[in-house]
Amino acid sequence: MTTTADTAGLVGAGADRVDGPSKVTGAAQYPADFGLENLAHAVLVQSTVAAGRIRRLATERAEAAPGVLAVITHRNAPRLARAQGGLGLGPPPPLQDDRVVHHGQHIAVVVAQTLEQAAAAARLVQADYEAAEPLLDLDDPRAERVENASGRDVSRGDVAAGLTAAEVVVAATYTTPVQTNNPLGLFASIAYWDGDLLTVHDSTQGPVFTRAALAAAFGLPETAVRVLAPFVGGAFGAGLRTWPHVVLAALAARVAGRPVKLVLSRAQMFTSVGYRPPTVQHLKVGARRTGELVAIDHEGIEPTALEDDFAESLTRGTAVLYDCPNLSGRTRQVRLNVACPTWMRGPGEAPGVFALECALDELASELGIDPVELRLRNYAEIHPQTSRPWSSKALRACYEQGAERFGWTRRTPEPRSMRHGRFLVGYGMASAYYGYVQAPCQATASLGLDGVAVVRSAATDIGPGTYTVMTQVAASTLGLPMERIRFELGDTTMPPAPLQGGSGLTAALGSAVHAACRRLLQAFVELAADNPQSPLHGCSVQDVTAADGRISVVHAASPAPAETYTAILARHGLAELSADGASARRTDLDAEPGIFAAKFAEVQVDPDLGLIRVTRFVAAVDGGRILNAKTAASQIIGGTVGGIGMALLEETVSDPGTGRIANATFGDYLVAVNADVPDIDVIFVGEPDPINPIGVKGIGEVAIVGVAPAIANAVFHATGRRIRSLPITAERLL
């Protein structure tokens, strides 16, 4: 681990986004923005049944339409290999046979000289199906059940005995609906070939993983594929996999012999890039009258596609949030004729913690114990499942400081006991947890005679501020002003980086950038140390500090000997120096990482109409070292807005007989807008986390976890009505 002196300057002020000017002026190029000579356009044709086979696919009219270059179907598509399953890779390759396994499946792609020509021709493709009765219901006895779907089922103690011995047991079922990743930017791919070399601009959260998937699909070495994603217009998990439309863009470019752009429509975003699967969760929580938990039984059930390996754990948070001796957490899946689901912000934890934290609130009400106090009585000082210490944990401070900032003591415990004029007022709270994983990462840094340091890594920035924070890390480590740092990402020709997902990229990439810049500083010091003419002669990197573009000797008489980077280069006749850096999660600590938060919500409810308004929200977050207070707070605010949508608005509705999505527009799929969002107060607590060299924890996922149950618990406190199914609408409340 680096020393305190190495990282002390990394505590970030609220620096403005370095990529902000390019975004607001239109200079930032997103995947669909690249103009290439001779660019063709592709439009997808999708199935109108959920199960069966394509009996006939009439493409003659489309092929004869003006400007059409190709119509690709299962009849003429080449064989494509399927990449190995798992994070970042994709569902089965498209257009490989005549089977239909979900409504909206891609059954053809039309390539034409213009977008309008491709869209018109796509409407001319006619499909005749041999339809089968689809599997669309979790309770369908024909459907395959998958036990321990995520491989993360957990148990400890004897749950049955614990529930029998409990003095109070709360048993309830909670449900969450399909929620669809709806970034503002439509997902797009532009692909072109140069012989056997493939280049793709794509809306991906992991260029390295997309490269691997495309290489596997086309039987290419990874060195023959280049993926670029310098800017991505939001993703929230939808960009973590390589979807069939990306493969089809590359295939269309090969068939057409020219660059091809494929942009999904808004409706296709609902069927083509995954979604948060619906859940049915059964909970039993047993406790003593004094509030100590004795047993938790949590089973979560969700659908998945017929031929996919996606799985998330609904009970991971349940296993670790509280000190409970007897616990069973199980996730099982049911294979249905549905499109492939995917990760969505706070995957697993967001719906799972909703059920758990509502059950805890029900228990607190049953026992007559304050909800915050109940959680404090069951505080897990160590990891309950492994009995190992936490690498860092400040959840207790989150409870205490969040409650104080919110004014929790003003809460009267009886439901319907608080009012603001004619409106019922409710206070609710919930815990939040997310278990992040820090994957290996690499970066490179160079500094030339112009005094500008260029730092590169093949990561993406989907909006949390990666460009800015990495610029800060590099500037702090090298002692340069931020305007003298140029951070570049989103290109697989750069050093490999993990996905921007799972709240792990800041730790992984930040540690790699810090390591590369530290090694670059060391290279300059070693170069100067060997030169008797240098003021740094005989020094090591431990003897110096860097600031204002100068390397100075510490603990020296004033004025301290110092030299600029550019002077060192000039003296040695060098144009630049470069250094590489790498990072990985520390394995020498016998400790468990974890990200924690406490969320507090105030709602006002119209007692006659059932309309709910979130009027105040406080999020107290244990985020480790905060590198940029402004972008970090923005992450928590954004996640909270998503949580308000999850609690009160968002639900993707499908026809129960056909599987067709009925509300695949922004007019019908409701998301939180400005009028739905109150002032959101964000508090950061805790200390740097020693699990990685720069002491950070990712906060993108925990930002949404706990928001929905805090609101649901506030609605109960306001109305006395316990709504166990999301979203909580006026219809359900009345």
Domain 4-28+438-583 listed as CATH 3.30.365.10? yes
Is the Cβ–Cβ distance between 514 and 627 less than 8 Å? no
pLDDT higher than threshold 70 for residue 567 = yes
Alpha-helical segments (H) within 66-175: 115-122, 159-165
The encoded tokens of residue 673 equal: 């807008």
Q: Among 390, 392, 175, which Cα is nearest to 276's?
A: 175
∠ at Cα 712 (622, 429), nearest 5°?
35
pLDDT higher than threshold 60 for residue 152 = yes
C-alpha to C-alpha distances, 341 to 238, 310, 662, 669, 728, nearest whole angstrom: 9, 7, 17, 17, 23
Q: What b-and-e string marks burial along 300-312, b requiring 16 or more CB atoms within 10 Å of the CB?
A: bbbbbbbebebbb
Sequence-separated (6 or more) residues with CB below 8 Å from residue 141: none
Token match 């709602």: residue? 603
Residues 109-123 have a mean pLDDT of 98
Sequence-separated (6 or more) residues with CB below 8 Å from residue 634: 464, 465
* CA dihedral of residues 80, 85, 90, 94 (deg, nearest 10): 30
pLDDT higher than threshold 80 for residue 89 = no
Residues 224-234 have a mean pLDDT of 95
The encoded tokens of residue 413 equal: 């415990």
Token match 């999850």: residue? 646
Calpha distance 88→499 (Å, rounded) = 7
Q: Say what the pLDDT of residue 10 is.
A: 55
The residues annotated with a catalytic role in the active site are 701
Residues 544-554 have a mean pLDDT of 93
Which tens digit of pLDDT belongs to each residue from 596-643?
999 999 999 999 999 999 999 999 999 999 999 999 999 999 999 999
Provide the percentage of residues in the chain whose pLDDT is more than 90. Answer: 91
Intra-chain end-to-end CA distance of the chain, in Å: 57
Provide the percentage of residues in the chain whose pLDDT is more than 70. Answer: 98
| Average pLDDT, rounded, for the chain | 95
**449 phi and psi angles, rounded to 5 deg:** -65, -15
Q: Among 207, 339, 334, which Cα is nearest to 274's?
A: 339
∠ at Cα 340 (245, 314), nearest 5°?
140
What SS3 class is residue 69?
strand
Sequence-separated (6 or more) residues with CB below 8 Å from residue 365: 415, 716
C-alpha to C-alpha distances, 28 to 25, 37, 228, 712, nearest whole angstrom: 8, 20, 13, 40
Which tens digit of pLDDT belongs to each residue from 397-436?
999 999 999 999 999 999 999 999 999 999 999 999 998 7
Q: Say what the pLDDT of residue 6 is.
A: 56
| 523-530, Cβ contacts within 8 angstroms, sequence gap of 24 or more | 523/577, 523/578, 523/579, 524/447, 524/551, 524/565, 524/568, 524/577, 525/551, 527/568, 527/572, 527/577, 528/563, 528/568
Confidence of residue 5 (pLDDT cuts 50, 70, 90): very low
Q: Among 318, 291, 293, 314, which Cα is nearest to 304's?
A: 314
Calpha distance 612→606 (Å, rounded) = 7
Sequence-separated (6 or more) residues with CB below 8 Å from residue 60: none
pLDDT higher than threshold 90 for residue 584 = no
Calpha distance 721→358 (Å, rounded) = 12
Most confidently modeled of 444-453, 537-546, 589-598? 444-453
Is the Cβ–Cβ distance between 207 and 460 less than 8 Å? yes
Confidence of residue 85 (pLDDT cuts 50, 70, 90): low
Calpha distance 404→673 (Å, rounded) = 28
Is the Cβ–Cβ distance between 663 and 652 less than 8 Å? yes
Calpha distance 14→27 (Å, rounded) = 24
- Cis upstream peptide for 559 (omega within 30°): yes
* CA dihedral of residues 72, 75, 79, 83 (deg, nearest 10): 70
**610 phi and psi angles, rounded to 5 deg:** 75, 10
Question: Across the strands, what pairs with 285?
Answer: 170, 296
Q: Say what the pLDDT of residue 509 is.
A: 97
Residues 577-591 have a mean pLDDT of 89
Q: Return the CATH number of 34-134+181-272, one of 3.30.365.10, 2.170.190.11, 3.40.190.10, 3.30.70.920.
A: 3.30.365.10
Same fold, 34-134+181-272 and 279-437+589-733: yes
pLDDT higher than threshold 60 for residue 9 = no
Instruction: Please name the amino acid found at residue 51.
Output: A
pLDDT higher than threshold 60 for residue 208 = yes
Angle between helices 466-478 and 505-529 (to 10 degrees): 30
Q: Say what the pLDDT of residue 525 is.
A: 97
Domain 279-437+589-733 listed as CATH 3.30.365.10? yes
DSSP 715: H
Q: Say what the pLDDT of residue 2 is.
A: 37
Sign, Cα dihedral of 208, 212, 213, 215 = positive
Token match 């998958």: residue? 146
Calpha distance 299→284 (Å, rounded) = 9
pTM of the model: 0.96
The encoded tokens of residue 91 equal: 């569902």
Strands 327-336 and 145-146 turn out to be: antiparallel
- The structural domains of the chain, with segments of one domain joined by +, span 4-28+438-583, 34-134+181-272, 279-437+589-733
Left (φ > 0), alpha (ψ -120 to 50) or beta: where does 147 sit? Answer: beta
Calpha distance 610→608 (Å, rounded) = 6
pLDDT higher than threshold 90 for residue 1 = no
Q: Say what the pLDDT of residue 3 is.
A: 36
Calpha distance 465→627 (Å, rounded) = 10
Q: Among 659, 660, 732, 726, which Cα is nearest to 278's?
A: 726
The encoded tokens of residue 302 equal: 């969700």
